[in-house]
Amino acid sequence: MDFDLSEEQRLLKESVDGLLADAYDFDARKKYMKEKGGWSKALWGKLAEQGLLGLPFAETDGGFGAGAVETMIVMEALGRSLVVEPYLATVVVAGGFLRHGGSAEQKARYIPGIIDGSKTFGFAQLEKNSRYDLFDVVTTAKKKGDGWVIDGEKFVVLNGENADTLIVTARTKGGQRDKSGIGVFLVPADAKGVTKKGYPTQDGLHAADITFTNVEVGADAAIGDPDNGLPLIERVADEARIALCAEAVGAMDESLKETVEYIKTRKQFGVAIGSFQSLQHRAADMFVALEQARSMSMFATMASDFTDAKERSSAVAAAKVQVGKSLKFVGQQSIQLHGGIGMTMEAKIGHYFKRLTMIENTLGDTDYHLRRVSEGGGLLA
């Protein structure tokens, strides 16, 4: 049992923290958000240069063969700096699909573009009525010749507006909520029949609602078994949740730091408001919430290597519950302790709150995951 980082992991952390300290203060972030597409290609290039975009890929695929802990380190750092670039959508999610389900040809075709920073991805999964159930899919993929024809509507596809390639879940068989008959498809974002309506999100990212009308793709578009893609989707979604937990921990950590710094310096009644016990205890409770979330983020990170999918899912869901509860408390109280200034767009603290809030509602909120663990027989069973 060991919670310390290895020497290599420590160096990775130093390097990513260093990069973001130099290149990603709050003003830089505002600048990046104004660039075309809403994020910085130059910064993305720097992430590529430092090898961060290639971390999880096998060395044979041109990557570094890093594991879940390395992703945790990076995501935590991205959370600290409120990074808006599409790391989750591209490296974690698309990378995950390719690593766990991609054929040799698919890997050779797509992974180099991720690693060198030239290509980004979007995960088109959410539907009008699917909410958080990954198996609830009405978008269809019908066989045509060797290939497929995709029809349907997907919503809030992160980085959907800018992505070069979309990874689309679509039903090849069965009814809306059948667990089998779901496939995963690689669709070029500029394919005929793909229409995108892009927009900024509450937390400063960009997403798109995307309609697929008679979109034809080849046989090589399917990742894994087109009739039984759910286990792959669940695995990648779990990895994305794990990454989100780490990102949330980074954002909470920074949020608490900013808040503590603020109440140490803000004076009222002639003294720093941090000298008031009601505020001190609130901050202490924020620390408790953060540490509990950090513990579960580590637990989930370890769980990503569990071979038993049920055990893995239950651990990840539990982490998402704890992180969801913690982020709500830390996020809300950060605003409260800042007082009026916390309500302004100008102050950084509100942006942490907004990102944290959106993380809770990504890939299953607290209640959703609590129900999952509960229906699965609990965590001690």
Partner 1 sequence: MDLAFTKEEIAFREEVREFFKNNVPPETRRKLQEGRHLSKDEMVTWWRILNKKGWGVTHWPKEYGGTGWSTVQHYIFNEELQSYPAPQPLAFGVSMVGPVIYTFGNEEQKKKYLPRIANVDDWWCQGFSEPGSGSDLASLKTKAERRGDKWIINGQKTWTTLAQHADMIFCLCRTDPAAKKQMGISFIVFSMKSKGVTVRPIQTIDGGHEVNEVFFDDVEVPYENLIGEENKGWDYAKFLLGNERTGIARVGVSKERLRRIRALASKVESGGRPVIEDPAFREKLTACEIELKALELTQLRVVADEGKHGKGKPNPASSVLKIKGSEIQQTTTELLMEIIGPFAAPYDEHGDAGSNESMDWTAQIAPSYFNNRKVSIYGGSNEIQRNIISKAVLGL
Cα 279 vs. chain centroid, distance in angstroms?
A: 32
Pairing of strands 165-171, 121-124: parallel
List phi, psi (to 5°) of 158.
-65, 135
Residue choice 52, 69, 74, 335 for contact with partner 1 (CB under 8 A): 69
Residue span 179-218 as binding mask against partner 1, x where in contact by CB under 8 A, dash where not: ----------------------------------------
According to CB under 8 A, which one of 23, 33, 302, 358 is a site residue for partner 1? 302
Between 345 and 380, whose beta carbon lies closer to partner 1?
Answer: 380
- The answer for residues whose C-beta is within 8 angstroms of residue 31's C-beta and 6 or more apart is 40
Q: Exposed, middle or buried: residue 380 (CB in 10 Å: 0-12, 13-18, 19+)? A: exposed
Judged by CB under 8 A, which of 322, 333, 334, 362 binds partner 1? 322
* Residue 291 binds partner 1 (CB under 8 A): yes
Cβ at position 264, least distance to partner 1 in Å = 7
Element (H, E) at 153: strand 147-158
* Amino acid at the residue 116: D
- Is 269 one of the binding residues for partner 1 (CB under 8 A)? no
Say if residues 85 and 47 touch (Cβ distance below 8 Å).
yes
**Closer CB to partner 1, residue 17 or residue 291?**
291
Q: In this structure, how many other beta carbons lie within 10 angstroms of the beta carbon of residue 58? A: 14
Which among 103, 121, 284, 112 is positioned nearest to 210, based on CA atoms?
Answer: 121
Nearer to partner 1, 140 or 292 (CB): 292
Instruction: Rule CB under 8 A: say whether 275 interacts with partner 1.
Output: yes
202: Cβ contacts below 8 Å, ≥ 6 apart? 354, 357, 358
The site that binds partner 1 (CB under 8 A) totals a number of residues, namely 44
Smallest separation, CB 263 to partner 1 (Å): 7
Token representation of residue 108: 């050779």
In angstroms and rounded to an integer, the radius of gyration of the C-alpha atoms of the chain is 21
CA 312 – CA 163 distance, rounded (Å):
29
Q: Which stretch binds partner 1 (CB under 8 A): 46-54, 235-243, 343-351, 372-380?
A: 372-380
Q: Is 274 in the site for partner 1 (CB under 8 A)?
A: yes
Q: What Cα–Cα distance (Å) separates residue 376 from each residue in 79, 229, 242, 245, 364?
A: 30, 21, 19, 21, 16
Among 265, 336, 344, 374, binds partner 1 (CB under 8 A): 374
**CA–CA separation, 170 and 149 (whole Å):** 10
Nearer CB in complex with partner 1: 191/298 = 298
Pick the closest to residue 282 from 330, 213, 324, 236 (CA basis). Answer: 330
Whole-angstrom Cα distance, residue 93 to residue 107?
A: 14
C-beta of 283: minimal distance to partner 1 in Å? 5
Q: Give the single-character DSSP code of 344.
A: S
Q: Is 296 in the site for partner 1 (CB under 8 A)?
A: yes
Residue with Cβ nearer partner 1 (343 or 379): 379
By the rule CB under 8 A, 264 interacts with partner 1: yes
Q: Which stretch binds partner 1 (CB under 8 A): 169-177, 191-199, 207-215, 259-267?
A: 259-267
Nearest distance from C-beta of residue 278 to partner 1, angstroms: 10
Sites for partner 1 among residues 2-41 (CB under 8 A): 2-6, 9
Of the residues 42, 108, 284, 341, which one makes contact with partner 1 according to CB under 8 A: 284
Q: Does 292 bind partner 1 (CB under 8 A)?
A: yes
Interaction site with partner 1 (CB under 8 A):
1-6, 9, 69, 256, 260, 263-264, 274-275, 277, 279-281, 283-285, 287-288, 291-296, 298-299, 301-302, 318, 321-322, 370-371, 373-374, 378-381
